[in-house]
Structures are given as structure tokens and as C-alpha cells.
Chain A
Amino acid sequence: NAGVIQTPRHKVTGKGQEATLWCEPISGHSAVFWYRQTIVQGLEFLTYFRNQAPIDDSGMPKERFSAQMPNQSHSTLKIQSTQPQDSAVYLCASSLDLWHSQNTLYFGAGTRLSVL
């Protein structure tokens, strides 16, 4: 079990460019979460999926952020027209079953996005 895999580990983009972040959840896990981590804001919830269906995207900045889960083995977070304030570590996590709130979240190592 390789755990949650996030790629790339580091991404540098210029202001206005697009960034796509990838996440491969643990096999068999039905829930996938995306978080953004910064020193100032801590861990911010962005969105989550259950069985590939989007359940809650209340944390997503509406205009430039989008997330998809086209199959059970990967999810993507896309940021269009990146801005310096998007610079953060983006964390993906998976959980065995969303319907059991006692379940542990397993986090990937994160993607550090730097927008110049």
C-alpha cells in the first residue's frame, strides 16, 4: 500500500498560468478530500468526493478552482489563472468510507504550489 500519492510534489507557475494537481487515493477508499494548507490559514477544506461524486465544494474559490474525479483511482484539482495568493501546499486525503465519520483520513505528502 503506497498510501495517497500526490503529484507533482512541487509546482512553480507564473501568474495567470494554469496548474493541475493530481491525487491517487488509497485503493478501496471511497472518499477523497482536498485541503489547502498555509501558515496563516492553517488547513482549509476545499472539496470532497464520495464514490467519485462531488459532495461538498463549499471551500472552493468559485471562479478559478475546479476539482474532478473521473475514476476511482485519481482526482485532479485545477486552478486557472493562478495568482500569488494561491501559493500553498495542497493536500489530498482519502478515507475508507465517508458514511462512517469515525474513519481516519489518510493524507498524501502534498503538492507545494508556488505562483511567481
Chain B
Amino acid sequence: GEQVEQRPPHLSVREGDSAFITCTYTDPNSYYFFWYKQEPGASLQLLMKVFSSTEINEGQGFTVLLNKKDKRLSLNLTAAHPGDSAAYFCAVSAPGGNYKPTFGKGTSLVVHP
């Protein structure tokens, strides 16, 4: 089955720096990719959902990159601020029915003022 490896498990950056998180997956049929954010004490919330057809996706203060050739999904938080401190999880799923998304183990990000 699908395997998702997320790196790094912990990341500490200064305010204004970039924070880069990467997930590699194994199933070449994977088509839907998700990033979830979990703030301390809160539930996971969707940050962005991307489809296999789009390689670069921009959100507010972050960019999601998809490299299908290398089977790599990345989240780049540009100019991180302390409010970005949270755990981030990637998830991957294949098209079709009866799926269950496969999650990475998560990255705990701390942004220091």
C-alpha cells in the first residue's frame, strides 16, 4: 500500500525565515494531495488541497509544490511568523472509490519571534 514519509519531524525557524516541509510517497497513482495544520490543542484543519494536474499551488503565505516525477510534495511557508507554529501533516490519496488517505507522521514547526 501507499507509504508516505514526511521530513523533518521537527523544524525551528526564526520569524521571517522560510520553513520547508517535504513528503515523499510511493504510489504513482496518487492524485490528490492535502496539507493539514494542527495548532496546539486544536484539531487538524485543511490548509490546502491540490490535484495531480497542478504543480505549483499558492496560498496565503505559503506555496505547495508537487513533483510527480520524484513523487514529492512540499510545503513552503514563506516569511514564517509565530502564528504559523503548529504541526503540519501531508496526506495522499489515489483516485477512485473506497479510499483511505495516507498521512505523513507530521512536522512540528516552531517559529521564534
Interface positions of A (Cβ within 8 A of B)? 3-4, 33, 35, 41-43, 45, 48, 50, 55-56, 91, 93, 98-99, 101-102, 104-105, 107-110
Contacts and interface: CB of A to CB of B under 8 A. Distances in A.
B43 interface: yes
A48 B93 CA distance: 15
Interface of B: 6, 31-32, 34, 36, 42-46, 49, 51, 89, 91, 93-106
Contacts of B102: 45
Contacts of B99: 98, 101
A102 B105 CA distance: 20
Given A107-B43, A109-B42, A110-B43, A101 B31 contact: yes
A105 B105 contact: no
A106 B67 CA distance: 26
Given A45-B102, A102-B31, A107-B44, 19 more contacts: A41-B105, A42-B6, A42-B103, A43-B103, A43-B104, A45-B100, A48-B100, A55-B100, A56-B100, A91-B44, A99-B97, A101-B96, A104-B49, A105-B44, A105-B46, A105-B91, A107-B43, A107-B45, A109-B42
